[in-house]
Structure 1
């Protein structure tokens, strides 16, 4: 999701915010930069540019977005505070990864190309047959487009092939969590069988992107798997008329969307394993979202979350405290008393507290991989 372009003064203040975390122990920083591709789970402020023309996306530039960490100043993040990428940058002693489309400073310490609503496949795949102007996402910010943005940035970072390989070899790359919007745009519009049929295309596109970045010099890449879509409030409402046997009785999540996600994650792991064999000197790290969110849904008390775990913190009235008519940021929306007690912030997106739990595990996985390759 996105919004209007921030005033220059506000944007400058946001970009100058301190990370508030000391560099990782051991003297020299583990990485010199972070480059990230993805969607709204990773977007740190590209949406205000991409969707500045479309008023519905103003919501993420209104309170209460940013209330938990950014002092009530919305940053373009679909969250009450920090995202996984923010926690990782802070823990590695790097600044918060600046959004490529709105940052006017240096990208020597990284760039974030992620855009809310971004798909893996080209956006034309999802809008084939739509009448002109029918789609709320006519701008293409797919994985391929984000790679083009990265390509256009490269000359400002390095001049020769060897210089690029040296620079990107000291950088950490994130490729994902691609797939969320590909499936979520399709649920309720295409049959489950048809959605299953293009899962391999999505995996192939992600794999090709990883291969491309390796050819540019990347030696450490983090590739996240998919969230359990069947536990996501917007998807639960898409299939609000589902029969009781279509839900997991232990979690209240829908079985079929989660089966498609599990297929995606399984094929992604297989593809990454093939890439590891092809590039033995490159660290390709799979990180989990499905397992973490599923565990939070099954055992909310373990994470000090509320029992009504599938309800969003900020939204309108109705089932799961979510509806399309009144969304978080709207005048009629309400917010839970303590966002740190919720898993979901405004719909599919998570709270800062949830992202924090996930980031801790990802950091452990990244650090283990770094030690294994050293």
Structure 2
């Protein structure tokens, strides 16, 4: 007993020293260490990529905070928005957007419907999967990094140079990832079974690992990686597969198990990368558990409001007349925004949980996710 207690004291002291050193490295002279964020993903963190590349979203998207559509599939802010706010950085502009953009504090390479690996026509019909899959997002980042420094060197202190990151920004920045959901759901919605999808998961995760390696070789050192969400709780899944076995909170159990399988593979892959790259901080963030908590406490945290026939912003026919569906009443007490994306309230709830480090492996808070320099 005495030995166990002594070990606990020593371990706690060691943990305190580690966090103190991490704090000193991440907050030199009391200043935040992340000068920029570079985000990769799909619609859950898309701040305008789809809208810039294809077509603008309609109201009520964006109405809660912005008062207008901003390219976000949400009534307001996304988890990536709460991330930038917590680090005292501006909202990230999409790399796809070429109008009046300041990239000095980072860029967002996401586009809705993006996947980790490119889905071929024999898996998902052409036009339903984004061509901005993760390897292409990485290539865009690589081009951005190289060209931005050419402009800075030749532009000196012109307005163009001031709108782009400094060379040292790339090694000090936080690299965030929120992708993988579409690799599973897009296959499901086009008649692939869970049994057919499972064998592809290791290959999908391997593609993801390769991107982390490439970014590391480009100088990236701080990675914040979200796992995929509880798919079986999505209203879109529940209405598309009504006969699926339900768990205790009426989520579709087989589809949550599919998400858990992907998440387990991802977590193991990141653990291997941490061993391979000891000079990096790679944090696996369990967003699945944070969001699943919302479904286990529906009256406390709100509930979803969804209909295949009446999605917010869409057009429906009522008594022979076409009308646009208005905003879901009081989205602040709802979890689901449109059947597959979450409300600002749900995003805020999840971010508040995961940013503490309590849902992360290693258990590092967001603001300490840099590697000691």
Q: For 2:223, what is the secondary structure of its paired residue? A: strand
Any gaps of 5 or more consecutive residues in structure 2? 1-26, 151-164, 317-324, 358-364
The residue aligned with 2:89 is: 94
- How many angstroms does 1:222 deviate by? 0.7
Whole-angstrom distance in 1 between the partners of 2:221 and 2:300: 36
Equivalent in 199, 205, 208 of residue 210 of structure 2: 208
Quote the Cα distance in structure 2 between the aligned partners of 1:78 and 1:119: 16
1:326 Cα offset (Å) = 3.4
* 2:128 equivalent in structure 1: 137
User: What SS does the corresponding residue of 1:221 show, helix, strand or coil?
Assistant: strand
Match of residue 58 from structure 2: 62
Q: Residue 34 of structure 2 aligns to a residue in which SS?
A: coil
Look up the match of 1:55: none
TM-score by length of 2: 0.79
User: Closer, same or farther in 2 for the Cα pair 1:287/1:94, shift >3 Å?
Assistant: same
Aligned position for 2:9: none
8 Å Cα contact 2:42-2:110 kept in structure 1: yes
| Aligned match of 1:233 | 235
User: Cα offset for 1:64?
Assistant: 1.0
Cα distance in structure 2, aligned partners of 1:121 and 1:371: 27
Report if aligned partners of 2:129, 2:186 keep a CA contact under 8 Å in 1: no
| Root mean square deviation of aligned Cα | 2.4
| Alignment-derived partner of residue 170 in structure 2 | 168
TM-score calculated relative to the size of structure 1: 0.79
Residue equivalent to 1:121: 117
Q: 1:198 to 1:353 in 2, by over 3 A?
A: same
Consecutive unaligned residues in structure 1, runs of 5 or more: 1-23, 53-57, 313-320
SS of residue paired to 1:185: helix
Corresponding residue SS for 1:121: coil
- Do the aligned partners of 1:285 and 1:369 also contact (CA within 8 Å) in 2? no
Cα offsets for 1:147-169 (capped at 9, x unmatched) = 1111111123336xxx9873212
Could you list the per-position Cα deviations for residues 296-354 of structure 1 after superposition, in whole angstroms to 9, with x for gaps in the alignment? 00112343x1xxx2x33xxxxxxxx320x432202442533211100111111000011
Alignment of 1:15-54 (within 5 A): 27-52=30-55
In structure 1, distance between residues paired with 2:291 and 2:123: 35
Residue pair 1:108, 1:157 contacting (<8 A) in 2 also: no
Indicate the SS of the match to 2:45: coil
* Structure 1 segments of 4+ aligned residues over 2 angstroms from their partners: 24-30, 49-52, 103-106, 134-139, 156-159, 163-167, 300-303, 331-337, 361-374
Task: Assess, with a 3 A threshold, how the Cα gap between structure 1 residues 372 and 156 changes in structure 2: closer, same or farther.
Answer: closer
Q: 1:175·1:210 contact (CA, 8 Å) conserved in 2? A: no
Question: What SS does the aligned partner of 2:351 have?
Answer: helix
Q: Deviations over 1:52-109 (max 9, x none)?
A: 3xxxxx5xx22111111102x1001000000011111011111100011014333221
Match in the other structure for 1:358: 350
Aligned-pair distance for 1:360? 1.8
Where in structure 2 are the equivalents of 1:240-251 lying within 5 Å?
A: 240-242=242-244, 246-248=245-247, 250-251=248-249
1:180 is aligned to 181
Superposition deviation, residue 25 in structure 1: 11
Q: Which has the higher contact order (CA 8 A, sep 6+)?
A: 2
Cα shift at 1:136:
3.1
1:362 Cα deviation after fit: 3.2
Q: Secondary structure at the match of 2:174?
A: strand
Q: How far does the alpha carbon of each residue in 1:16-47 deviate from its partner, in whole angstroms, 9 at most, with x for none?
A: xxxxxxxx997423211110000000000011
